[in-house]
Amino acid sequence: MNYLIIGGVAGGATVAARLRRMDEKANIVLFERGKYVSYANCGLPYYIGDTINNREKLFVQTVKGFTDRFRIDIRTEQEVTAIRPDKKEVEVKNLSTGEIYTETYDKLVLSPGAEPLRPGIEGIGSKKIFTLRNVPDTDTIKNYINIEKPKRAIVVGGGFIGLEMAENLHDLGIQVDVVEMANQVMAPLDFSMAAIVHQQLTDKGVGLHLEDGVSRFEEKDGGVTVHLRSGKQIATDMVLLSIGVRPETKLAKEAGLAIGERGGIAVNDYMQTSDADIYALGDATEVKNLVTGQPSLIPLAGPANKQGRIVADNIIFGNKKKYAGSIGTSIAKVFDLTVAATGANAKLLQRNNIPYTSSYTHGASNAGYYPGAVPMSIKILFDPENGKLLGAQIVGFNGVDKRIEMLEQVIQRGGTIYDLTELEHAYAPPYSSAKDPVNMAGFVAENILKGKSQIIQWRELAELPADTIRMMSVRATNTN
């Protein structure tokens, strides 16, 4: 059998390795237009910020190591320029020599990934404006910083990568401003939770410009002046664009494969495209959101790796293994904070007309009497009738990762807030409380559903008559 894979990194490399483990005799060819076949793209900001100081540690597999271990024909710097499903062949261009040739396949796998958005804003072609998606991007940014020694940087976009880069640039001693068109950073969070992140950024000296976009860039006085739609002008030495990605679907479109309503490659439950001999996975595909039931673009490394294993198994054994879908569980470090989300937020539920209510709890990472206990805020969203858990968000310092994974498991299995009250956890004072913050979130939600507590959300205060409101501070006074 002849298996061709387009694209490496997380998805494509996983498919290649799994195919070889399942079939020792197959001919497996992996085409990668870049120079590197498999690298830790989630670690790139930390290499730029010198948290990771050894560049070689970014590489999960080298071409030689991958070839020697799995006997896979890896062709880097070779780009597939066309797919011809009727002939079951692809056209390939060797980017080093310019040679164009064809290869035939029995099964073809698409893992082209996604590309950074780079809108047609005036002045965006400046050499001082960067995007971060791969190792060459990383090297370009790192070299610029080492040579030019910038004192100021602007990050356009307040998503996960944007804020990770803001932190790492800040840690290099660079003054950072973040520009975000929305009224908040971190789109997976709802505003109330994002507000905690806003405070952290401000406390660290990061300039935060919300509800403002870039109208143009201007090279001036050896740097770049960023003109905002509000009329503000910010002078800087470098700009990082981090305003999102779009799935790379050009090859699939030109091959006549079906494209989904969100702009990604359409696949069935077996990760099979509209052509039975072509599979697709990763950032370029649309998969089912398990909360809304709707097709979604979920460009995360975890799902891509899982899809890779499923694709390989379905190619070898026939379509027997389904990919259930994803709930988009994500986590990021933002200076001292850890920010995590899973399932649907309020905005997504509203867009899909899914009824919900929510609760907020503010606990601690471990027993309050044990040294090192730090705050942890949890928001959960759930069905107002049956308590089905729809989404969760956590902003805190320690222990956020294990709590979001507890909540993710309940959502993925269609569980309810009542399940949260019964979750058993490993307890000792250094790690948790006897009533874990996740249990407490369940208890509060249960009180709301059963009418034991009357809850007024903060956003509802503005709708109440002023003479019916009495404000009381429950903050502890400073006794020092």
| Residues labelled catalytic | 42
Report which residue type is found at 20.
Answer: R
Give the 3-state secondary structure of residue 258: coil
Nearest Cα to 243, choosing from 92, 120, 410? 120
CA distances from 48 to 10, 231, 293 (A): 20, 31, 38
Dihedral angle computed from the Cα positions of residues 438, 442, 445 and 447, in that order, rounded to the nearest 10 degrees: -130
Q: Is the dihedral of CA 336, 302, 297, 154 positive or negative?
A: positive
DSSP H or E stretch at residue 201: helix 191-203
Give the N- to C-terminal CA distance of the chain in Å, as an integer: 75
Instruction: Provide the 8-state DSSP code for 469.
Output: -
Instruction: Provide the 8-state DSSP code for 365.
Output: S
The answer to whether the beta carbons of residues 323 and 344 sit under 8 Å apart is: no
Residue 19 CA to residue 74 CA, distance in Å, equals 14
Give the 3-state secondary structure of residue 349: helix
The answer to whether the beta carbons of residues 121 and 214 sit under 8 Å apart is: yes
Residue 389 CA to residue 121 CA, distance in Å, equals 41
Report which residue type is found at 106.
Answer: D
Residue 420 CA to residue 92 CA, distance in Å, equals 52
Query: In this structure, what token pair is assigned to residue 15?
Result: 């498919």
Q: Angle CA(382)–CA(386)–CA(387) in degrees, nearest 5?
A: 30
The answer to whether the beta carbons of residues 368 and 433 sit under 8 Å apart is: yes
